[in-house]
Amino acid sequence: MMTSLNMTSLKTTARASRRKASAQGFTIVEFLMAVAIAGVILSQTCLLWLYSSRCFAGQMSYADMDQKSQLALDTLSQSIRQCRALTNFTTTRVTFLDHDNKALTFAFDRGMLVRTKSGSSPKILLKDCTNGEFVMYQRTPIAGGFDYHPVTNSGLCKAIEVRWNGARKPSPTSPTASESMQSARIVMRVK
């Protein structure tokens, strides 16, 4: 009977020591595995956040450039349609005689589209232009189509085509966001 009691107390002591060992915490191997898994999850979360914020910044830059291009084109169209005549032309600068007989100039200068009216300060219509140009056309359309005849004499000019591309770097780590070409043909209505 004594041996049976000793066996029972040994089993109870062994169980108690196992419970005590398991209650002490993680082993070093378990701790290192948990840290490694947490590190991988944290690094993947950070990479996802970085990538998504760069994409968001790029999309916002595209939307902003497109909105500013449309506003510049609207202003340009409205002003040119009211002009009386084209007085000076280069591929990067056009000067008109406005409806109030004042000089009105549009120019692509140092990556900007600038509007200058005689007697007032210049107004920047658009920034971040990578290239821009003006082309002048005659009033008569080409037979069998909708295109106009290009002209070199500003006295014969009835329509102006304006084209530009835009590019911007939203942040130092983001790739350059470039806008597709904006183009419009604007007919002078008053002439």
pLDDT tens string 104-126: 999 999 889 999 998 889 999 99
- Answer with the residue of higher pLDDT: 9 or 106: 106
pTM of the model: 0.69
pLDDT tens figures, 119-162: 889 999 998 888 889 998 887 778 887 778 888 888 888 889 99
Residue 7 lies in a domain: no
Asked if residue 157 lies in contact with residue 140, where contact means CB atoms within 8 angstroms, the answer is: no
Residue 168 lies in a domain: yes
Residue 98 lies in a domain: yes
Q: Which two tokens stand for residue 80?
A: 């040119």
Residue 160 lies in a domain: yes
Number of domains composing the chain: 1
Please give the residue range of the domain that contains residue 82: 31-187
Q: Which two tokens stand for residue 114?
A: 């600038």
Residue 3 lies in a domain: no
pLDDT for the residue numbered 21: 55
Question: What is the C-alpha to C-alpha distance for residues 128 and 146, in angstroms, rounded to an integer?
Answer: 31
Residue 61 lies in a domain: yes
